[in-house]
Structure 1
């Protein structure tokens, strides 16, 4: 990749990150005004001192679905939010980033033969 293409790509990535941050800031601020500062799963309460650990979760997992009434949001602590997304990945076939095929490697395949030799 030449320097000119690399510069354009860097600018595009920076712009996408900036746009995402602006979108998040908007719905995060609205959700924090709408809902009590409590994790919707574990019930942990938050104050201004630790509010950065409270996140906005999109119930339908679509970060572009931000209705003004907040019906697609719930406030979750970092840990519950990570857990919710991992449960979604585990429950959705093909969402694991892999091929969706079962593992075929068997690390103990030759173990019986190795044990017989000794």
Structure 2
């Protein structure tokens, strides 16, 4: 069975006014463009360098530098940056792969 691409019928009580939609878009854009998000703060605090392999980054490849949350909680963003470390995408992937492998070897993988 293929998915239907027909527009959904509006559900009663769930229809938003144009003003509500505009306010929602404005709020989402402001959150997305907020200059003080945790990635920007981490880059400012820890520099444009991978904490694991030491690779240095410049503006043209800065998108390859990510922020790793040491405790795994993406909502734990202390102002001092103590839960963050800047890792290149390769080291970040390696860090999470190690955790998955360790969980598997301990027999504590999550059941789906």
Secondary structure of the corresponding residue to residue 109 of structure 2: coil
In the alignment, which of 28, 49, 54 is matched to residue 43 of structure 1?
A: 54
Alignment TM-score, normalising by the size of structure 2: 0.64
In the alignment, which of 86, 89, 103 is matched to residue 75 of structure 1?
A: 86
Higher RCO by CA contacts (8 Å cutoff, separation 6 or greater): 2
Alignment TM-score, normalising by the size of structure 1: 0.61
How many residue pairs match? The answer is 87
**Backbone CA RMSD of aligned residues:** 2.9
TM superposition outliers: structure 1 runs of 4+ over 2 Å: 2-5, 18-23
Give 1 or 2: higher helix fraction.
1
Structure with higher Rg: it is 1
Provide structure 2 residue ranges, at least 5 long, that are not aligned to the other structure.
1-7, 15-24
Partner of 1:102: none
Provide structure 1 residue ranges, at least 5 long, that are not aligned to the other structure.
9-14, 100-118
In the alignment, which of 69, 78, 81 is matched to residue 58 of structure 1?
A: 69
